[in-house]
Structure 1
Amino acid sequence: MDGVPRVPESHLAARRDQILDAATARFAANGFQATGMADVIAASGLSAGAVYRYFRSKDELIAAIVERVVGAAAARFEQLLEDDAAPDPAEAVAAAVEMVAELTTRGPVDLSRVAVQAWGEALRNPGVHAVVDPAYRTMRGYFVEIARRGQAAGRFPADADPLHLGATMMSSVFGFVLQRLLLGDVDPAAYAAALRVTWAGAPSTTG
């Protein structure tokens, strides 16, 4: 085997991405349950053997797609808290909506369609739940930290529960995703502007 040239890692990564791109497009268009491995194989342009080399089952492929989509969003939420400032809650929620809108729609596939499907898939698929749970807890943790910093700055009552303050802020973002997909008449910029008005009412004890 020493004389057999090794396949470069970059080639392996490119092939894996090729499969994930094809699967993402199929899942976004037809859903997890209506898409089979044969559909992904056809869309990828690779042989069945090549695809199964990377993903032994559709469940593995779904988990990888969810990790890719939801994990990317979670990482961006963490970046929003890199400094030690206490951002205004209204601006923090609006910025999160704008970030999600940009992240999920900047490519050829609307990734929010996959993210929403992941919510339902997580209820029946333990592998997907294992991916979704920590990612969404990371996202909620961003808002919980915004709430804590807001309390320290006097923007929220001191006796309010940061966990549930954060949960309601996160719900505003998820509500945007659902309404944009289901109703189709929710503009990211207008929604973010409305959130600034809504959350600007957070009480302040400063000044």
Structure 2
Amino acid sequence: MRHEQHRCGLDRGRNHGRGFAARGMMKMMMGGRGPFGRGFGDFGGGFGGWDDESGGRGGRGGGRGRGRMFAGGELRLVLLRLVAEQDRHGYELIKAIEELTGGEYAPSPGVVYPTLSLLVDEGLLAEVAGEGSRKAFTVTEGGRAELAEKAAEADALVERLKAFGEQRQRHSSPPVRRAMHNLKVALGQRLMGGLDDGVAHQIADILDEAARRIERL
């Protein structure tokens, strides 16, 4: 009798542990903090991620740990270079940088707009009328003169952004990232409706089996 009670207790403990682990894993995948740490990759938290110059988070998680995409003054030069190519407003500049990296990094508005304001204050950019109520920026003669002095540095920064995107693309797989996104959405829908231990165990079984199959590839 005692043996049966002990075994039942162990089974309940294992089941409780599996349910806890499953809930924790799903919370982690959705970008929260689970029993194993913060979220990861395309599931929401990023393996690391890049910080922009202000220390604010930008981009889509980086695989090499936390770091800075731009050192002091580099974002300023990149923005100046992009506006010199054509007049743009803030959002267009963020998208332009994202396009340079193949969609792998985008600076946060919280650092881009203050940098643009600084460039205007320095007389290197000027505000012009844009589409609708949005202000666009154009380069001034002073801005073109600074770019001429720092042309090699600006070119190197643009090439670095492109190389970053190319490197990330070589180490990623669009089909896998799509499947990861679909899993994130499916788990998010289940979590919104609540998750009892029985469902948590079923989801844990599915995830465990997927992990075993991936390991055998």
Structure having the higher helix fraction is: 1
- TM-score bucket of the superposed structures, by smaller chain: under 0.3
Question: What TM-score do you get using the length of structure 1 for normalisation?
Answer: 0.25
Q: With CA pairs under 8 Å and 6+ residues apart, which has the higher RCO, 1 or 2?
A: 1
Structure having the higher strand fraction is: 2
Question: What TM-score do you get using the length of structure 2 for normalisation?
Answer: 0.24
